[in-house]
Amino acid sequence: MTRRTVLIAGLGDCGVLTAMRLARRDDLDVVGVSAKPALVSGQELGWRLSRPDHWARHNWIAFDRFRALDGVRTVHGTLTGVDLDARTVSVATADGGSAVERYDALIIATGVTNGFWRRPTLQTADEIGADLRAAHGRLAAARSVIVVGGGAAAVSSAANVALTWPDTRVDLYFPGERGLTAHHPRTWARVRDRLEAAGVRLHPGHRAELPDDFTGDEITAGPVSWRTGQPPASADAVLWTVGRVRPNTGWLPGDLLDDDGFVAVTPQLRVPRQRGVFAVGDVAATDPLRSSARNRADALLAHNVVAEFEGRPLRSYRAPRSRWGSVLGIQRDGLEVFAPNGRAFRFPAWSFERVLMPWIVQRGIYRGVRAPAER
């Protein structure tokens, strides 16, 4: 039996799920490279900011807790380059050294940088915890908060801050007539009602003035100026969630990327003209929403990697027209999840810890998660 090595560059949500599927096979060695020593999800920003301990319980999970990753070798480090001819990647390891990892198939899943909550920085567990506490503390100390942006991260943050600190004034500024423009209009109508009930002040038609070197990598203070002509607005804390994502592709050659720096892929999630090289998640230019990050493309990708090894036909990824899923995260009255058509269905609050997380997520999706060691 010929053994092959699949190297997964990036162990975020997509990378971890793809690694789990491939690790089931006895004829594959699966290696994952990650800048974090754990899965640190980039989802549910509002929940993360307002209740970081509860968020971490379900979204910050050390790799050795996943039973389905027992057969995966993880490398803690940052990717510095790839040799496509030699089929190797270079890694700056967390201990200050360097390593070269060989592959037969390469899966690029390095994601994007998006504000302070999604960065490719090499971190220890202590540093991850410090980041969580710092952002939470900054907002807890504020008497007024401005959230700039109209996407899910902005809307979720505004709602959760208002609900967690009801005495804090929260203003949400977004450029269009409505927020959540990538979602079905029904989703915004429902979420708008929830925002207003929480006391969030909505300001449509406001597009922020951003400097050329803007990164959004920190919570700031001071006035926010508007390109759309309104007077500047001020608050104790300003949360920038404007969707200015930057793909984590600096370690890749330019001919693998599209004009915006994302990895160009075919409908089969293959990188054109590169046999055995695939991409998935926010880094992959599958469609304008880069929706393979949120639509369980891990199953299709794992199939295609093996199919290419075996000379069988590959399957194509089909992107949904609208984003779907949770927007506000778990609340006292339960978890509301929106379908692509904007219809909402609710998991009651009691079911979240008793059914949804332990059975559907931990056992069904992750195939078993061990109890955490004391952190």
CA triplet 47, 113, 357: central angle to 5 degrees? 35
Q: Is the pTM of this model over 0.85?
A: yes
**All structural domains of the chain with their residue ranges:** 4-123+245-361, 125-240
Alpha carbon distance 191, 197 (integer Å): 10
Q: Which of 346, 338, 348 is nearest to 186 (CA)?
A: 338
The strand pairing partners of 62, in sequence order, are: 38
- 228: how many CB neighbours lie within 10 A of its CB? 11
Q: Which of the residue ranges 52-61, 156-165, 245-254, 314-323 would you say has the lowest mean pLDDT?
A: 314-323
Query: What are the structure tokens assigned to 309, written together?
Result: 């090894």
Alpha carbon distance 317, 303 (integer Å): 12
Alpha carbon distance 59, 128 (integer Å): 12
CATH topology of domain 125-240: FAD/NAD(P)-binding domain (3.50.50)
Same fold, 4-123+245-361 and 125-240: yes
Alpha carbon distance 48, 310 (integer Å): 42
Q: Which helix (H) or strand (E) holds 263?
A: strand 263-264
Query: What are the structure tokens assigned to 19, written together?
Result: 């690694």
CATH architecture of 4-123+245-361: 3-Layer(bba) Sandwich (3.50)
pLDDT score at 375: 42
For the segment 177-195, what is each residue's pLDDT rounded down to a tens digit? 999 999 999 999 999 999 9
For the segment 236-276, what is each residue's pLDDT rounded down to a tens digit? 999 999 878 899 999 999 999 999 999 999 999 999 999 99
Alpha carbon distance 173, 320 (integer Å): 27
pLDDT score at 210: 87
Q: Torsions phi, psi of 291, nearest 5?
A: -80, -5
In the chain, where does DSSP find H-type helix?
13-22, 45-50, 52-59, 125-140, 152-164, 185-198, 298-310, 349-351
Q: Which residues contact 165 (CB under 8 A, 6 or more apart)?
A: 50, 139, 140
User: Cβ distance 18 to 301 under 8 Å?
Assistant: yes
Query: What are the structure tokens assigned to 117, written together?
Result: 């909550």
* DSSP code, position 6: E
User: Confidence band (pLDDT; 50, 70, 90) for 1?
Assistant: low
For the segment 298-335, what is each residue's pLDDT rounded down to a tens digit? 999 999 999 999 999 999 999 877 788 899 999 998 99
CA triplet 26, 29, 30: central angle to 5 degrees? 115
For the segment 123-150, what is each residue's pLDDT rounded down to a tens digit? 999 999 999 999 999 999 999 999 999 9
Residues in the chain, total: 375
